[in-house]
Structure 1
Amino acid sequence: MNKMNAFLILYFIACVGCVSNPRVKADDAATGVETSLKQDSSGRNGGNVAAIPAGARILIDVYPDAGMKYKDGYIVFPDGERILYDDGKKKSFTVMLDNSDVEDMFGMRYDTASSKPGYLSDAGRSRCEALFKKMYGKSASEVASRMETVDWFGQKIKFTKVNGASSQLGKVVAELKTKPHLAKYLKPASTFYWRNVRGAKRMSAHSYGIAIDINVKMSDYWLWANKGKGETAKILYKNRIPLELVRVFEKHGFVWGGRWYHYDTMHFEYRPEQLANKV
């Protein structure tokens, strides 16, 4: 067989392959980023995964009940409501907290390895309010309508059932019941309270029914120990909550305020996307 014949045979085989799967290039051109939302064999959002930002992929994966997709720079919900993923603005630390877009939420990595958080390491304090209000409720009454009662060691508390949060808190309760030596840290507890963060205009995670504060008398808060200090000041760290207790919460999708530079050691918040963020 001469070289020309061999070339023609290989060319013919390649052309047959293109004809046998004619939609590959056509679909990519027609749908653009939306190709990343095609369902793979597992039923999850697959396809051109690289076209979806890492944070959007995490949200889609850890909050499957929300039915989120990513298209043309937006997080898109089943009812058509869209939330901008990245506003493209460069932000200071405080502006990022006060005006977080979805992308800002993944700007820091939640560190479960260090015993003491680094300067301004506050992964989880950034919350895109539009996203959280869409998932959990845009008013106190709407959030309340989506909550259920959880038996917290004999205390009846309210927690949202959205995204399986109350179910995960129930798993925390079940595991902590096997550790009676930690009981003194757990009561009393508080959860739902529609309000702003102390001293700020942004909403507290308690507003969405996804946060629980445990025994205040056994806890520490950065402003208590560093009176008058601003968000970017150097502060002293304090904590009395055992890491054994913390790891139980983290195992079930909760972040701990004690892992923030601006620590709030009584505070646990259902944020599985932060624990899944490995960037």
Structure 2
Amino acid sequence: MAKTYPDHLTLPTGDLVIVSHAGQRYPYESETLFKNIEDELDRADLFSQLRQRYQRGSLARAPQNNEDPGRLRHMPLFLDMYGKTSSEVIKKLVNIHWAPCNCQFQFSSVNGAARALETVGKEIHSAGLSHYMNQGIGTFNWRKIAGTNRLSMHALGIAIDFKLPSSLGRYWRWDHPSGSQHRTFPIEILRDEGLNRIVDIFEANGFIWGGKWWHYDSIHFEYRPELALHDCFAEDENQ
């Protein structure tokens, strides 16, 4: 965990806690009891954030009920790193060149996020897949997640959405406005070869993809190196 955010976090020295360079403490071993998954989403601690492993590469099956690695977020950690207010976040935004559309996006410079996104764009363009990713539809936006009181990761400048071709752009709230738990996962988003190659590029640079969530959001990519990078998995499995 700390290895993926070295500018802000320090490895634990014995007790199960992550410490920021500024002295904030983020306990990992939690005894928090949540009423249900919605309560855990609202009040996720660091243990919650890491308890669902994000699987890199193609998925052999669709995510099952409430399999949403990355949607559980310990927000105090992210607010401390990226900014607690819109103005704090804006000060850390930089323009990056996005090769697939030869245009610019704003993204957070913190933790190398902007640099990673620019690298993703160059690799997608080199792979001949720019037509998938040439229409960005949202990066920084200080707002809450639709239907919740939780702050969006777009508010922190570390998420980006794209208009995907054909029927690949899918979001569970668009498909099921009532929020039905009996919805069908759009398996086609996991089977498109070009999109899978793009997801591989994003993941290799520290991003996770909302298309791997039961609450699917296939247009959404989010900078979360603590989940996306293999080194983090190896570290967790050895503890």
Query: Which TM-score band (shorter chain)?
Result: 0.7 to 0.9
1:277 aligns with 2:233: yes
Counterpart residue number, 2:119: 171
Deviation at 1:124? 0.3
1:75 aligns with 2:31: no
Provide, for residues 12-50 of structure 1, a one-character-per-residue CA deviation record: whole Å limited to 9, x for no partner.
xxxxxxxxxxxxxxxxxxxxxxxxxxxxxxxxxxxxxxx
What is the distance in 2 between the residues matched to 1:187 and 1:120?
Answer: 29
1:249 aligns with 2:202: yes
Q: Which has the higher contact order (CA 8 A, sep 6+)?
A: 2
What is the distance in 2 between the residues matched to 1:149 and 1:109?
Answer: 31
What is the distance in 2 between the residues matched to 1:251 and 1:84?
Answer: 28
**Contact 1:226 / 1:236 at 8 angstroms: preserved in 2?**
no
Deviation larger for 153-162 or 163-172: 153-162
Aligned residues: 219
1:103 aligns with 2:47: yes
Deviation at 1:188? 2.9
**Residues 1:122 and 1:143: Cα distance change in structure 2 (over 3 Å):** same
Counterpart residue number, 1:120: 66
Q: Which runs of 5+ in 2 are unaligned?
A: none
Deviation at 1:107? 1.1
Counterpart residue number, 1:154: 102
What is the distance in 1 between the residues matched to 2:8 and 2:129?
Answer: 37
Deviation at 1:277? 3.3
Q: Secondary structure at the match of 2:137?
A: coil
* Identity among equivalent pairs (%): 33
Q: Residues 78-93 of structure 1: matches in 2 within 5 Å?
A: 78-91=21-34, 92-93=36-37
Counterpart residue number, 1:66: 8
Counterpart residue number, 1:221: 171
What is the distance in 2 between the residues matched to 1:161 and 1:220?
Answer: 28
What is the distance in 1 between the residues matched to 2:164 and 2:128?
Answer: 19
What is the distance in 2 between the residues matched to 1:147 and 1:105?
Answer: 25
Counterpart residue number, 2:217: 264
**Contact 2:9 / 2:18 at 8 angstroms: preserved in 1?**
no
1:186 aligns with 2:129: no
Counterpart residue number, 2:90: 144
Q: Which runs of 5+ in 1 are unaligned?
A: 1-58
What is the distance in 1 between the residues matched to 2:204 and 2:28?
Answer: 27
Q: Secondary structure at the match of 1:65?
A: coil
Give the letter aligned to residue 76 of structure 1.
Answer: V
Counterpart residue number, 2:144: 196
Give the letter aligned to residue 226 of structure 1.
Answer: H
Give the letter aligned to residue 257 of structure 1.
Answer: G
What is the distance in 1 between the residues matched to 2:164 and 2:42?
Answer: 26
Counterpart residue number, 1:22: none
Which has the larger helix fraction?
1
Give the letter aligned to residue 236 of structure 1.
Answer: T
**Contact 2:207 / 2:224 at 8 angstroms: preserved in 1?**
yes
TM-score (norm 2): 0.84
